[in-house]
Structure 1
């Protein structure tokens, strides 16, 4: 091969650098590189070529070297080169993450005491059996020298159809390392999982189906939206005139019916609340459609859903789900934070369970009274709760229970029990014990919950391989000194992650190295999966119609860079060029 001159090498570097900048920018924005027609005669070539031309239009030195002005063997614009550049950048990013002292693929505590959650890899499997999943995960970990015995926490998606297989996977990892504690991924579609659990009660399943139909019909067109707004204005004016509605700046704003979507957290709760808030206006719109609908199909659908809307059973389910989801929605919102502190999370979980139990035990009469008042206000018939409950019109299907028994036991208690059972399955006794003992390390309120006995019990029962018998004795001794030190030098710290950072900053992580080790173990437990949720949301942005057939490695490289763009942006173009050149021999030289 003819040795190239220094000027030719410099030109090759410039061409490759321009391609790297284009790849990096497009990946950060989640854009496709190529279009349907990449021929030079095409008027609508892909984003990569368009961006490269745009880059050249502002820099004549680039323009004179790229595309048609470049040699055939050093254009750096082909699909293979694009993917190779992307893979180089993704590999550099993952290797950069590996330098942090990780104990789990996605969540770790760095050398400065900061809790980090990073999207690490996207694993594709041939099937979802537990053995296959474990094999693939171990394979990914081994590539980056991460050992199973160093993992201290695991959590999986319990809301998908792989729930059974994930539980099996949990057990397989625990067989290899008893300290890979499973804490259910708190935030991962928890609200949607609770909605799904409530749908196990057939009456609630029917309610959500009816709610969707009402929202679809009322919000089907701009005309109906305008009618809804107008009906609200009339209703508000009437209530203000009767002194039933307070006025003021920002009060009584016009709203609309919100649609419940399985891809949006809390959307079901907001949908229920919006219907209660503009119930009368919704009835008005449905009556308008019944009277003025252009087709019999529109009028018929409006008649059907209006009949449902004006039924006691629908109103009862509407208010029941408002009360239940009002409790669980707060829990879900708290646990959706990107890096939720584990000790704060446990308080919210416990409070949610207690509030649901309180609703079950004490609030039946209050709920029934609220529903009755709502029905009276909107002129909805209220059944005699002491009469016999009948299913349909067939006398042979009459039951021996009263209407009150049906609503209280078959709907009210059954729905709340489904929520409590779902939360208990996600936060079992062992998990709760682990998290409860961890609260002894909580620095909130000037270490109000600090307890040496519970901290030693946490280390002894849950992390025996991390602390030898001799270290357990030293830990107890360290905690005696630590108890005096925290009251003088570690005040006004709100979270465990902040405490870990402060110990590092003050150098006390060396003095109390065993306490620091225990804190780091607790911090690696999975509390939230907002990072993972954002990764799957990013997949919808990255894998568009133009890129529907992306290969696994190409998709993974795109996601790693798109999600962790802050880190990827720090890599210099020269370092990427060096890595690109080292991968294989090339006709165009890139270094002297």
Structure 2
């Protein structure tokens, strides 16, 4: 139950209760299945020897934990090791630090063991260093055997002078600090997605559109039904090919806070379900809904049918198709660092090619998408009007085509390249 994060205690553990909580109910189940267990279970035990009190449960868990840590130390056998660490909040909103050890087992296999959870008063580098030192001393882990530090990119961890990695380097010059490539890529892509105003607004609206659909099970069911009808019609007209595993129905996917790939699949699924999603919103508006729900549906419908949204949807879908391949490759356990840097270089090359030579083809795909979904595309040779369109606000006399190409496409790709060059550079490769 500790491994599965299940609650031990029940709300009501009295005899009259229909649910005594996980511990007592599990013990009672074993009592009914095993006569030997039944002899010593709760009903037959003396009142002061039932061993179900919270304090006793924690003591038992503590005994298990000590035996596990002792076994890990035996596997380590005083050899060189790496430390992986992160801090987080527990259910009681208290800071805690997790410690993971990575080492080569004496049989030649790499072992990665979850070793300890330590409560900390704050997440300052000095506090974390002091807590780790105490753990090392208690279990006879020598700092001079430390060969690798792996933390996130927070300043208290990676600070060059006073960060946790710098404090360990002062004691052991071989304890190199490595920031996970996949996490660096995650930060780079998230940063580039929030720095540009146009893209930031796009992701905000994307989240709002998905939330409006997912808020009601009726909408999700209707979206699925419409999608199934469309698939049947497209197969009948020859637009889709049939085959094993082909043309599977899907749902709109919410983006995850810590998984960049989830944003790509959010965009990919919305592109696939664009007509179906628009139809659901139209039904919500036409069905006479009032108040907040009607307003949300109307706002989402207007957004999804706007050219700005469609342009960003296709742009981010094209860019993130490139970066998603890199993201998946960097998360493979067998990935080597040299090959990883080559993949980074390849991704940069594809983005640069898209910036230099991809505009004409991309614009054609946008126009085609708008035509097939009955969305009005602007005259790209017309002047772009800033602000409210008043003549006094038109500081840059540029065309609509120039605006979308230079101030949207180029800016987004340049942000991506800048972040990739900063966080995944040659210095990392040399280390």
TM-score (norm 2): 0.84
TM-score (norm 1): 0.63
CA contact (8 A) 1:389 1:399 kept: no
Return the match for 1:378 from 361, 373, 376.
Answer: 373
Return the match for 1:165 from 152, 156, 164.
Answer: 156
CA contact (8 A) 2:150 2:177 kept: yes
Give the structure 2 partner of residue 541 of structure 1: none
Q: 2:2 & 2:80 partners in 1: Cα distance?
A: 26
CA spacing shift, 1:216–1:181, aligned 2, 3 Å: same
Give the structure 2 partner of residue 422 of structure 1: 419
Return the match for 2:65 from 55, 66, 90.
Answer: 90
1:434-473 paired onto structure 2 within 5 Å: 434=431
CA deviation string 1:172-222 (max 9, x = no partner): 333333322222123348547623431111111110111112122234334
1:78 lines up with 2:78 in the alignment: no
The alpha-carbon deviation at position 51 of structure 1 amounts to 1.9
**Structure richer in strand, relative to its length:** 2
Q: Runs of 4+ in structure 1 displaced over 6 angstroms?
A: none
**Where do 5+ consecutive residues of structure 1 fail to align?**
1-25, 435-592
Give the structure 2 partner of residue 104 of structure 1: 82
Q: 2:283 & 2:351 partners in 1: Cα distance?
A: 39
CA deviation string 1:101-120 (max 9, x = no partner): 35123321111221222212
CA contact (8 A) 1:235 1:280 kept: no
The alpha-carbon deviation at position 361 of structure 1 amounts to 3.0
SS in 2 for 1:199: helix
Give the structure 2 partner of residue 33 of structure 1: 8
Q: 1:227 & 1:417 partners in 2: Cα distance?
A: 40
Q: Which has the higher contact order (CA 8 A, sep 6+)?
A: 1
The alpha-carbon deviation at position 348 of structure 1 amounts to 3.0
1:118-517 paired onto structure 2 within 5 Å: 118-158=113-153, 163-168=154-159, 169=163, 170-188=165-183, 190-191=185-186, 194-240=189-235, 242-264=237-259, 266-337=261-332, 340-395=335-390, 396-400=392-396, 401-434=398-431
Q: What number of residue pairs does the alignment pair up?
A: 405
Q: 1:179 & 1:87 partners in 2: Cα distance?
A: 33
SS in 2 for 1:67: coil
CA spacing shift, 1:414–1:175, aligned 2, 3 Å: farther
Give the structure 2 partner of residue 49 of structure 1: 24
Q: 2:118 & 2:395 partners in 1: Cα distance?
A: 53
SS in 2 for 1:155: strand
The alpha-carbon deviation at position 86 of structure 1 amounts to 0.7
1:58 lines up with 2:33 in the alignment: yes
Q: 2:324 & 2:176 partners in 1: Cα distance?
A: 26
The alpha-carbon deviation at position 140 of structure 1 amounts to 2.3
SS in 2 for 1:104: strand
Q: 1:241 & 1:51 partners in 2: Cα distance?
A: 55
The alpha-carbon deviation at position 300 of structure 1 amounts to 3.1
Q: 1:233 & 1:54 partners in 2: Cα distance?
A: 45
CA spacing shift, 1:354–1:109, aligned 2, 3 Å: farther
SS in 1 for 2:384: strand
